[in-house]
Amino acid sequence: MEVQTNRFRCISEDAARRILGIESPVPLSPRTMAAGLRVTFFPVHAATEHVLAFSTRLQQALTDCGVRVIDYADAVDERRPGKIKEGIVVIATGDLRAGDLPVDHVPNLRKTTIVGIVDGPCPADAETGDQEKLNSIVRTLTWSIVQVSIYVDTASWTVCTMNGAIIPCTLRGSIAGDVLSILVPKLAAPVVPPHAADFETQEGVLDLSEERFRPYVDDFTRSGVLWARTGLLLFHTSMDELEFRNPFYKRIAAAYLDHRSGMSYGFLARQLAVPVSPATIVTDGSKRPGNDESRIEVELGGKTYSIHVPDVWMFTTRSGCDKSHIDAHRDILLMGLSRGRVVFKTPKGVDARVDFKPSYDTLTILAHAVGNVLAASVSARLTPGSRFAQTLQHSGVALAHWHGGIERFALPEGYVVHGESNPPVSCSTHQAALFALTGKLAAVQMSLDQKIDFAGDVHVEPHHGVNVTGFSLEALASWVLENLDRLSRSATDDQSAPAPRSVMAGR
């Protein structure tokens, strides 16, 4: 099943943000994203007529979408001559010169998105393998130090981003529709690598040999060989393999990436068991249990529920590790969400040279963990003996993310698909985390509508990939191997084929 519903029908935006520790309002629709964008076009050094013509069309399309386009002279910070004000998207057309790249005029790359418009077809079109396609895109991004590249061919323009998105669009007719639905979300909610300083980090305190952690560590170990066979988590682009115009630009890129060894794609996560308290039904005139930092209200199936939100903890692969060959005692860390605060714990006794960096998807992963608790709490109230609730409470659940999709008819009974109609934002953004949390609740609502027991969900991130919840990493990997021919880059509404056995089933 696919769920299409009002994003905050089940939970208020304030409550969702409070759970995740997001302090400010977040634009969630392309129109609101466009209204908050300021864009300037970098002075052109050299460009073909073809690219110049597209740049003019793009500027008009952005204006038509409600984006504020600023003259470059007005975008320059008077207090810092030669530097562009923070928070303005910079679009560079055509060829760029070392020493005069847009990044040379940006005070903070983490607060500025740079787009490069390039003449010619997308280089990924000439490659056959997924790794080669990805590398060809990343090479262009790093050579010019931009977060988004737009390739302009004779009949199409293609948007490419750091997270591996490759989206071809037509040049025929107006381009405003694609600009609003595709480009604007990528400019308003760009890929921003999280820094360890963004969270509370406790280094060297995690003892993975503790008996209570053994089932989770063993799950990573047992599933590793299976994930290697799937071929879904092999993508890794090393900084050492990329070419830069000079060492200075390499240092800028390294700082932007929080000095990571490279960029990897996909993650594996294992949520620790957590107490599940059946939701309390709130009726008119009844005493409300309270709506503070540890308790929230959700509306599902026409009823209001008050739910206790406990701390949630997830083992997850460290950013940049080889996720197809996991060494659990050096490749996983523990992260938690406690009353809106993200906490990281790294293992004891690991070589200091091991690079423990927070995943790009950190808040989205934790949003799934909280969403699982909310879903289990409602399920425990409505379906005594709910398998999802019992599983989460006794052994926890797993989450896997890869680039690609799942054909809908391949999913087990009780699984719900959500997210396909969301704006295509990066998985590292507040928007992605909010979509994960609210989508999980909307999936439970769909289960109630269909009168089936909620078993799990598939969270689709448009132009990017999927987050799939399951009983364990081993069970998920086994299911993927059995259904490789049903995994694709786009989903289908065909549900005629018989469903395979549940990924919630133990092994």
| Residue 108, domain member (yes or no) | yes
CA 198/CA 182 separation, integer angstroms: 28
Distances (CA, A) of 43 to 40, 69, 90, 229, 326: 9, 14, 10, 48, 47
Q: Which residues of the chain have pLDDT under 70?
A: 1-8, 195-196, 234-240, 255-265, 284-293, 320, 324, 351-355, 488-507
Q: Are 398 and 434 found together in one domain?
A: yes
> How many helices and strands (H and E) does the chain possess?
14, 24
- Of the candidates 266, 244, 268, the one whose C-alpha atom is nearest the C-alpha of residue 256 is 244
Residue whose entry in the numeric block shows the structure tokens 């996983």: 332
- In CATH, what number is assigned to the domain containing residue 436? 3.40.225
> What is the extent of the structural domain holding 181?
30-188
| Residue 39, domain member (yes or no) | yes
Contact 214, 272 (CB under 8 A): no
Q: Are 398 and 280 found together in one domain?
A: yes
Q: Are 281 and 172 found together in one domain?
A: no
Q: What is the pLDDT of residues 228-270, one digit of tens each?
A: 888 887 555 666 677 778 777 787 777 666 555 555 567 899 9
- Biggest CA–CA distance in the chain, Å, is 70
pLDDT of the residue at 335: 94
Q: What is the average pLDDT score of the chain?
A: 85
| Residue 11, domain member (yes or no) | no
Q: Are 177 and 220 found together in one domain?
A: no
| Residue 444, domain member (yes or no) | yes
Tokens found for residue 444: 């439970």
Helix (H, G, I), strand (E, B) or coil at 306: strand
Contacts of 23 (CB under 8 A, 6+ apart): 17
Q: How many CB atoms lie within 10 A of CB 58?
A: 24
pLDDT of the residue at 327: 81
pLDDT of the residue at 211: 96
Structural domain count, the chain: 2
pLDDT of the residue at 502: 43
Distances (CA, A) of 290 to 297, 305, 308, 309, 372: 9, 11, 10, 12, 21
pLDDT of the residue at 162: 79
Q: Are 184 and 228 found together in one domain?
A: no
| Residue 13, domain member (yes or no) | no
- The one-letter amino acid code at 330 reads R
pLDDT of the residue at 270: 97
